Structure formats: structure tokens, C-alpha cells
Structure 1
Amino acid sequence: MKNELKIGDKIPNFSLQDHNGKTFNSVTDLEGVTSVIYFYPKDESGVCTKEACAFRDSYQDFTAAGIQVIGINSAGIESHKQFAEKNNLPFRLLSDPGNKVIKQFGVKNALFLTGRETFVVNDKGIVVHKFRDFFKGEAHAKEVLQFLKPVK
């Protein structure tokens, strides 16, 4: 596994399918826009649902600031689609089979699950902020909004 990405590092190029079966390409879909990329262990688990819903509830704040939100884990497209529909998630969920992208970002596992970590990436693909807290999923959106306040 590669070392974890640090603030100032450029994110790796990757291409994944979203919950609607559309291809998301990091080079073209992240170019020129600040993005929040959050990695989470499992669709429909309690903490992951709270985390996704916190991003959903703050989504207007993110979009008003010109920021896109993207969630990533290893679940399949159909699982992501059901999770997004059930929880009215307005952002893209990307399927990362085999956890290839999570490993490229260097997100560390917690117990027997993949980790939970959020990255803020500027319009040039550089990590400008990151936050890791495995047990407080709902804290991720709040932490990122707090970081972004001076940027607005």
C-alpha cells in the first residue's frame, strides 16, 4: 500500500463507475472545481448513513460554495443506487471494487473495515485538507464546512 496522501499532495488519477452507471474520471470530473471526496466503509451501516445524511443536509452549503461532494467505497453500483435513493443523496457515490482507489489515497483500515476519511481537493487536484474519524461519521461534513468557511 502506498503511503497516505498528505496535504499538498496531488491525488492519483482514477476512473470509477457512479451509482447511475456513469463513468467518473478524476482528471476530467475534478478539473477546475474544489471537491470533497469521502471514503466510507459500508452502505446502510449506522455510522455511514449518518455521515452520508450529514453531507446531504449540508449539500446546499457545499454547492453554494461551488464544491462537489463524492462518496466512495467498494460496494457495487446497485448497492450505491439503493443507498442514494433511500437516503435522498444528491451527490455521486462511486464504486471502488477491490478498494484500489482507497489504497491509492492511503486510507487506513479500522478494525476489519475499510477506513473513513475525507479529503478536500482543490481545483488543481491537490489535497488541501483531510479529516479522519472512524466512529463519528456525522462529524465529517461539519469538519469540512468549518475548514471551508474562510475560503468562501
Structure 2
Amino acid sequence: MPLKQGTKAPVFSLASTAGNLFSLEETLKGKPCILFFYPKDFTPGCTKEACSFRDEFEYFSSVEIPVYGISRDELVTHIHFKNKFDLPFDLLADETGKVSKMYRAKVPFLNMTRRITYLLDHDHVIRYSYENMFGAEKHIEEMKRIIAELEVTL
């Protein structure tokens, strides 16, 4: 079950495919964002989800909401995944699963991440979350729908 809407998103720092340390507090200070947690690079569902975010990247850029993908894969795997599929957004390496656990995206007793997408506002308050393990493309549709509804307040 995802974190509750209206709560402050947990603060974290992770290695990024941008070649630096991504910090929610510093990198995105005063900016909304989308964080999508997914199980594993190069798997069919995760590839579909990442490529769907890629295909709609222009939309998210137009509303000034950066997108970040997070999984437990190593940074080097993320770099290969990003390059192979021309992903225009950064991927964050949560190798220990600590951030996935903070965001309730870790499957208990398994070394696996759930497919959960969060929309954070400029204060990094969770405005919306969507969880659907098998409907990868639905995450993008839901984010676009809720952004259209909340556009004025983000």
C-alpha cells in the first residue's frame, strides 16, 4: 500500500544516471516531480513503463514536472537500460532497497520493488499515488489525468 496522499514525502539521496548524487531536498528544491518505482530493468513490464514515460516525456516537460525512475538495480545496469531505450529522464539506484522501503514500494520478504508511482508537489507533499503491478502503461495515464486535475495547485 503506497504512502498516504497529503503526507510529506520521505527525504532521500541516491546515485543517479546523471552521474551525480540525486537528493530530493536539494536537486528538486521547490519543484514538483514524479517518482516511479519499478521492479527491474530490462523486464517486459518495466521496459514498457519506462518507454511509456519516455514517449510522454514532452508532456511532463511542458508542465515542468521532472520524472525519475527508481529500482534496486545497480547504477551500471540503469545506465545500460537508459541508453538502450533512449530514456530522457534519470534513473536512481536504490541498491539497498532503503528508499523503496521508505516509500512502501518494497515487497515484504522479497528482494523486489513494487510498481508504484508518486506525484509530489513543489513542497514534496504526496499529491497522488498509483499502484498497479501489471498495468505498466496505466501509471502514465493516471499521472497525466491527475496533473490535469491539479495543475493549478502543483
Question: Scaled by the length of structure 1, what TM-score is found?
Answer: 0.93
Q: Which amino acid aligns with 2:119?
A: V
Match of 1:56 among 48, 54, 57: 54
Structure 1 residue runs of 5 or longer lacking an equivalent are none
Cα deviation, 1:57-81, whole Å, max 9, x if unaligned, reads 0000001001000000111111000
Map of 2:113 onto structure 1 = 114
SS in 2 for 1:97: coil
Cα deviation, 1:34-56, whole Å, max 9, x if unaligned, reads 10000000000000000000100
SS in 2 for 1:98: coil
TM-aligned CA deviation for residue 83 of structure 1: 0.3
Map of 1:133 onto structure 2 = 132
Identity across the alignment (%): 34
TM-aligned CA deviation for residue 108 of structure 1: 4.6
TM-aligned CA deviation for residue 110 of structure 1: 8.3
SS in 1 for 2:42: coil
Q: Which amino acid aligns with 1:144?
A: M
Q: Which amino acid aligns with 2:107?
A: N
Structure 2 residue runs of 5 or longer lacking an equivalent are none
SS in 2 for 1:72: strand
Q: Which amino acid aligns with 2:81?
A: F
Q: Quick one: distance in 1 between partners of 2:14 and 2:2?
A: 20
Q: Quick one: distance in 1 between partners of 2:28 and 2:106?
A: 23
TM-aligned CA deviation for residue 102 of structure 1: 0.6
Map of 1:83 onto structure 2 = 81
Q: Quick one: distance in 1 between partners of 2:104 and 2:56?
A: 26
Paired positions, count: 150
Q: Which amino acid aligns with 1:67?
A: I
Question: Scaled by the length of structure 2, what TM-score is found?
Answer: 0.92
Q: Quick one: distance in 2 between partners of 1:101 and 1:137?
A: 21
SS in 1 for 2:100: helix
2:97/2:106 contact within 8 Å kept: no
Map of 1:74 onto structure 2 = 72
Q: Quick one: distance in 1 between partners of 2:139 and 2:97?
A: 20
Map of 1:144 onto structure 2 = 143
Q: Quick one: distance in 1 between partners of 2:106 and 2:73?
A: 17
Runs of 4+ off more than 3 Å: 110-113
TM-aligned CA deviation for residue 149 of structure 1: 1.1
